[in-house]
Structure formats: C-alpha cells, structure tokens
Amino acid sequence: MRQKSAAFSAGSPGFARVTGHFGELLQGRLGPDGPVVLVTLPCPVLAASVRLVPGGPGLHQPDGRVLGLAQARRFLKALGISPASRAVLRLTMPPGGGAGASTACLVALARAFGAAEEQIAAACLAVEGASDPLMLPQPGRLLWASRLGRVVQRFLALPAMEVLGGFCGIAQRTDPADNGFPDIGALVQDWQAASGDLARMAALASQSARMTLALRGPTGDGTDEMAQRLGALGFSIAHTGSARALLFPPGQVPHGAEGVLRAAGWRQIVRFRVGGRDA
C-alpha cells in the first residue's frame, strides 16, 4: 500500500477530506453539438472524508451507501493501488443532490491511499463516466468538460460572494450519456467578459439555470422567485440534482433568510462564502 501524502489532501497519510460543490454556476453544451461543460460553485462546508483503519480490505459507509465495493475496487485498480486497509467513508452531502458526492468520495479514497494526483481525474472518469473537477485546485476558476475529464478554459478567481442554499426536490444522479443540455456558448463568452463583476456573473448563473429548467424541468421550480423574494443578486442550481443556491454580496444575506427557506421545504440549509482574489 502506498503511503505518500497527496498534495491537496487534508491530514496525514491514511486520511483525506475533499470538499464538494453546490451545483454549477454554468452548465450546458459548448455549442449546439459541443461537449457538456460547467463552472462549478465550490462549497467548503460539504465534504467527503476517508480514513484508513486496520482490518482486511473493505469499505464502510456509515452515512449511507455512495460507492459500490466493486466500483471502489475498479477505481483503486485504475490507480495501481492494491488496498491492504479498510476504508471508512464519511459524507456530509446527500447522494444525487448535485453537490459532487460521488466524485468527492472517489477523490478522498484516492488520496487516503496516496494516489498520484495527476492520475485521479482519469480514474474518476473511467469509473463514473462523468466527474466534477473536485480533484483540482481552485475548481471554480475552470470551464470543465465533465464527460471528457479535462479543462477547456481557465478564468480569473470568482468574485467574493455569500451563498445561501439547500436541497429542494428529488435526488438525481448524473447520467454520463445524457447530453440534453442547452447551448451555453454565448454565456461562457459573457462569463469571461464579466470576470470580477458579481452582479453580472450572478445574472449569467441565473440565465444558465433558467435555460436548464426550461429544457429539463422540474416545472414549478421556485428558486427564481425565492431569489427575488430575498433580494439575492441571482441564483444557481445543480443542473442534475436538488441543490439550489442564492447568490449575495458578502454580508448581505437578510436576517431570517434560513427560516424562509426551511418554511418553503428546502432541506439541509447551508451558508458559506467563496471567491475573492485568493480563491
């Protein structure tokens, strides 16, 4: 078993924590026949962690099953790892919620076993067919082709923002064969031009969400109305999944907003800040 510490893992060899995301600021096809691409919304408060403990090879998931044992074995084999320890996987986001649960779990598993960083993205793609860019530093700066496992374009840092959100609706796991998304080629160009302007970028994220909701549903999604009710600059969604996020300038989330979301049936309310020069 390889024991070297991975570059971006938290803790010592044998333990890794990987933060998820909270849906996507943009997602769709890069041109009518282009690949599915996305700009992820990093989420520092939701994470997957793996700790290796003594015992025969195995996978214990006390927070609910996210990875199948056969899938985990294929993943480690793709990384050239023969596990000699039992892995305990903990998770603070719901599977199928659009918060990157499966990718975060795989990346945490790879890092706990000391996998080479440069091999993780390809191994995730090999076993999932589509992945989020959670294995990369500063994922919110990337235009990521999720079905190809590669960076298409790099942006400057996201502007500082405060995010309030939760999970609303049914869980939906990503189907890697599903390319039925709107063309966001023009939005990507505007995103680059809007760099650093939170109001413009929040409006573009809202437009991307509306395009996906119009094409794919669910009908009656109330995120747009909730953003207007609470005075958010805009909103974003998990384009597959139930995560819904309201985007505010830092410090501008109104008092009692969490209670408004709970009363509307949103679950597992989260609030966090992302972006800024060093993000």
- Other Cβ atoms within 10 Å of 49 Cβ, number: 23
What share of the chain has pLDDT > 70, as a percent? 95
* Same-domain pairing of 77 and 26: yes
In a domain, 7, yes or no: no
In this structure, what CATH number is given to the domain that contains residue 191? 3.30.70.890
What are the tens digits of pLDDT across the range 123-165? 999 999 999 999 999 999 999 999 999 999 999 999 999 999 9
In a domain, 8, yes or no: no
Nearest to 249 by CA among 197, 187, 204: 197
Q: What are the residues facing 164 on neighbouring strands?
A: 246, 271
- Give the residue numbers spanning the domain of 266: 156-274
Distance of alpha carbon 126 from alpha carbon 74, whole angstroms? 9
Nearest to 95 by CA among 48, 164, 146: 48
* Same-domain pairing of 144 and 228: no
Distance of alpha carbon 121 from alpha carbon 217, whole angstroms? 30
* Same-domain pairing of 108 and 68: yes
pLDDT value of residue 13: 74
Torsion angle (degrees, nearest 10) of CA 43, 132, 234, 267: -60
What are the tens digits of pLDDT across the range 98-118? 999 999 999 999 999 999 999
In this structure, what CATH number is given to the domain that contains residue 90? 3.30.230.10
* Average pLDDT of every residue of the chain: 93
Q: How many domains does the chain have?
A: 2
* Same-domain pairing of 143 and 160: no
Distance of alpha carbon 32 from alpha carbon 266, whole angstroms? 34
> End-to-end distance of the chain based on CA atoms, in angstroms?
33
